[in-house]
């Protein structure tokens, strides 16, 4: 019986373990944390977004520059496969109003429990062995790795640090599913980058994705103390970078103590991040009333207000109050606030200047990772025969909405299939 080590017990690693075990491989699953799927469980706290129901072409477009590579993975395990897989675990799903797919009970824990039960007590294939608190430290010094893709390699000895000291394990193949660089406290530390680079593996630097930003010069103490954590609802943002790539979408986001974050910001975060990295700053236009044309806004602003204050006037005529009104006072001068034309223009297109990306450890996910160009179609490293990679440690990114989890699961399937093909060839 062939033995395979899977390093990393997140969704990609667990899926790789399931496919390999069901095919008859003896699977040993390692993770540095005390328990599996910690980031998966935290991501599901507000409702586990498994995947998205939109058409396949639109779904694939969410992966941007890595569309071709991720679309190849989705060919074997797509959004419909995710729902069928969840159903096989006894977890029924539904499509929400936004097209996102959730478990009926909205929770991650029941799905994870059912998944682990199947891995430990499979109907087909040997049970998966779990080794927790095993931190991968690289290769045992005696490791002799093949450097030609497709060539059968000797068993691959890996070194792990445990509470009881250093240990070594070896197998016929290895799947690395070590996550990206966000949420380090849950295990995604990015410590693997230097280990792979030392072996000649090409890795694009890890960067924040689905992240927040600091506004230029920060919010005033008054605005931050009163409105940090409050949402901008029913707004729209638009952005055009120096290369002419445009983004425009309606939704909501949140003010933070130093800037902005939330779903609408995350959707544009890759473009905004890259603009800041390239040019030191970025800006987007905020439409506070996206369902009202500029002409109507101007008409309402110009409407005689009598003895009412400007704040009361904006609330009465445009329903602008709370954080939306406060932002206008935060960013506009007194003269601009009392110029009807400038005020109306600002309500429809208020420039928000961003000066910095929030740290990667605060981000929902990360960009960068192991380059696809350095791997075979089966996700095996070309210069480390028998070593496969899956999940967020690969060089891709996607917005929130189920795209992250779907691609992680699909890559776990693809890596496992690559392992099986490699072992059969050997």
Tell me how many degrees the CA angle 162-190-163 measures, rounded to the nearest 5: 10
pLDDT at 152 over 60: no
Q: What is the mean pLDDT of the chain?
A: 94
Count the domains in the chain. 2
Same domain for 164 and 90: yes
What pLDDT, on the 0 to 100 scale, is given for residue 151?
42
Residues 411 and 312 placed together within one structural domain of the fold: no
Residue 242: pLDDT band (50, 70, 90) is: confident
Domain boundaries, position 350: 213-357
**Model pTM?**
0.91
Of 340, 357, 374, the residue that ends a domain is 357
On whether the CB atoms of residues 116 and 388 are closer than 8 A, the answer is: no
Nearest residue to 286 (alpha-carbon basis) of 302, 304, 306, 272: 272
End residue of a domain, out of 357, 374, 398: 357
Domain identity same for 284 and 385: no
Give the position of tokens 């060839």: 425
Categorize the per-residue pLDDT at 150 as very low, low, confident or very high, splitting at 50, 70 and 90: very low
Q: Helix %, strand %, coil % for the chain, to 5?
A: 40, 25, 35
The answer to whether 149 and 385 have CB atoms below 8 angstroms apart is yes
**Cβ-contact 32, 134 below 8 angstroms:** yes
pLDDT for res 148: 44
pLDDT at 44: 82
User: Which pLDDT does position 43 carry in this prediction?
Assistant: 84
User: Are 33 and 127 contained in the same domain?
Assistant: yes
Q: What is the DSSP letter of 228?
A: T
Q: What is the pLDDT of residues 95-133, one digit of tens each?
A: 999 999 999 999 999 999 999 999 999 998 899 999 999
* pLDDT digit string, tens, across residues 265-307: 999 999 999 999 999 999 999 999 999 999 999 999 999 988 9
Do both 100 and 195 map to the same domain?
yes
Mean pLDDT of 338-352: 97
Whether 84 and 174 share a structural domain: yes
Residue 187 sits in the same domain as residue 326 = no
Check residue 31 and report its DSSP letter. -
Tell me, rounded to whole angstroms, the distance of Cα 339 from its chain centroid.
Answer: 42
pLDDT of residue 291: 96
d(CA 323, CA 255): 9
3-state secondary structure at position 258: coil
Q: What pLDDT score does 183 carry?
A: 86
Q: Which residue has the higher pLDDT, 143 or 343?
A: 343
User: HSE of 189 in the Cβ direction (CA atoms, 13 Å)?
Assistant: 13
Tokens for 376?
A: 């075979």
What is the Cα–Cα distance from 368 to 179, expressed in whole angstroms? 11
Over the stretch 183-214, which tens digit does the pLDDT of each residue have?
Answer: 888 889 999 999 999 999 999 999 999 999 99
Phi then psi dihedrals of residue 265, to 5 deg: -70, -40
Residue 107 three-state SS: coil
203 & 218 share domain? no
Q: What is the CA radius of gyration of the chain?
A: 25
Residues 174 and 300 in one domain: no
Residue 154 has pLDDT above 60, yes or no: no
C-alpha–C-alpha distance, residues 402 and 342, integer Å: 40
Last residue of some domain: 331, 357, 383?
357
Q: Are 181 and 46 members of one domain?
A: yes
Band (pLDDT 50/70/90 cuts) for residue 145 is: very low
Task: Tell me: pLDDT of 155 over 90.
Answer: no
Percentage of the chain with pLDDT > 90? 89
pLDDT higher than threshold 60 for residue 314: yes
334-354 average pLDDT score: 97
Helices (H), 185-339: 192-197, 221-227, 263-279, 294-302, 310-318, 322-331, 334-337
Backbone angles phi, psi at 164, to 5 degrees: -105, 15
pLDDT of residue 235: 98
- The CATH number of whichever domain residue 391 belongs to comes to 3.50.50.60
- The secondary element (H helix, E strand) that includes residue 140 is none
What is the SS3 assignment for 247?
strand
Angle between helices 11-22 and 403-425 (to 10 degrees): 40
Q: Cα separation of 212 and 9, whole Å?
A: 27
Can you give the pLDDT at residue 63? 95
Residues 323 and 382 in one domain: no
Model confidence at 72: pLDDT above 50: yes
Terminal CA-CA length for the chain: 13
Task: Tell me, yes or no, whether 136 and 50 share the same domain.
Answer: yes
Q: In percent, how much of the chain has pLDDT > 70?
A: 96
Q: How far is CA 50 from CA 63, 112, 307, 397, in A?
A: 16, 12, 54, 16
Closest CA to 344 of 303, 284, 308: 303
């Amino acid at each position: 019986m062939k033995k395979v080590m899977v390093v990393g017990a997140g969704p990609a690693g667990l899926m790789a373990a399931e496919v390999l075990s069901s095919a008859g491989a003896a699977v040993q699953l390692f993770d540095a944390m005390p328990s599996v799927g910690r980031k998966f469980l935290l991501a599901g706290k507000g409702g586990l977004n498994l995947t998205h129901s939109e058409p396949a072409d639109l779904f694939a477009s969410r992966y941007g520059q890595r569309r071709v590579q991720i679309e190849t993975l989705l060919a074997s395990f797509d959004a419909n496969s995710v729902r069928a897989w969840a159903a096989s675990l006894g977890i029924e799903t539904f499509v929400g109003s936004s097209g996102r797919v959730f478990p009926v009970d909205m929770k991650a824990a029941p799905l994870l429990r059912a998944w682990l039960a199947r891995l430990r007590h499979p109907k087909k294939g040997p049970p998966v062995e779990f080794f927790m608190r095993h931190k991968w430290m690289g290769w045992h010094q005696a490791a002799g790795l093949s450097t030609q893709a497709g060539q059968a390699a000797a068993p691959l000895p890996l070194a792990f640090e445990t509470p009881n000291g250093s240990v070594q394990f070896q197998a016929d193949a290895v799947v690395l599913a070590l996550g990206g660089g966000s949420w380090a406290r849950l295990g995604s530390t990015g410590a693997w980058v230097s280990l792979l680079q030392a072996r000649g593996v090409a890795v694009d630097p890890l960067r924040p994705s689905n992240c927040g930003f600091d506004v230029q010069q920060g919010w005033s103490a008054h605005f931050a103390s009163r409105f940090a954590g409050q949402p901008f609802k029913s707004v729209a943002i638009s952005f055009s970078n120096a290369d002419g790539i445009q983004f425009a979408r309606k939704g909501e986001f949140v003010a933070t103590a130093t800037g902005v974050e939330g779903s609408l910001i995350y959707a544009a975060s890759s473009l905004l991040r890259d603009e800041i990295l390239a040019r030191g700053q970025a800006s987007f236009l905020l439409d506070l009333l996206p369902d009202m044309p500029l002409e109507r806004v101007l008409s309402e602003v110009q409407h005689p207000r009598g003895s009412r204050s400007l704040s009361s006037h904006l609330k009465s005529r445009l329903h602008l109050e709370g954080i939306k009104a406060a932002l206008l006072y935060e960013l506009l001068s007194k003269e601009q606030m009392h110029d009807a034309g400038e005020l109306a223009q600002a309500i429809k297109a208020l420039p928000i200047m961003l000066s910095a990306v929030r740290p990667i450890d605060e981000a929902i996910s990360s960009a960068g990772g192991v380059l696809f160009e350095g791997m075979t179609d089966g996700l095996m490293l070309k210069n480390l025969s028998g070593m496969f990679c899956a999940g967020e440690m690969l060089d891709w990114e996607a917005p929130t909405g189920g795209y992250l989890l779907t691609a992680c699961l699909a890559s776990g399937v693809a890596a496992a299939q690559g392992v099986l093909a490699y072992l059969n060839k050997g």
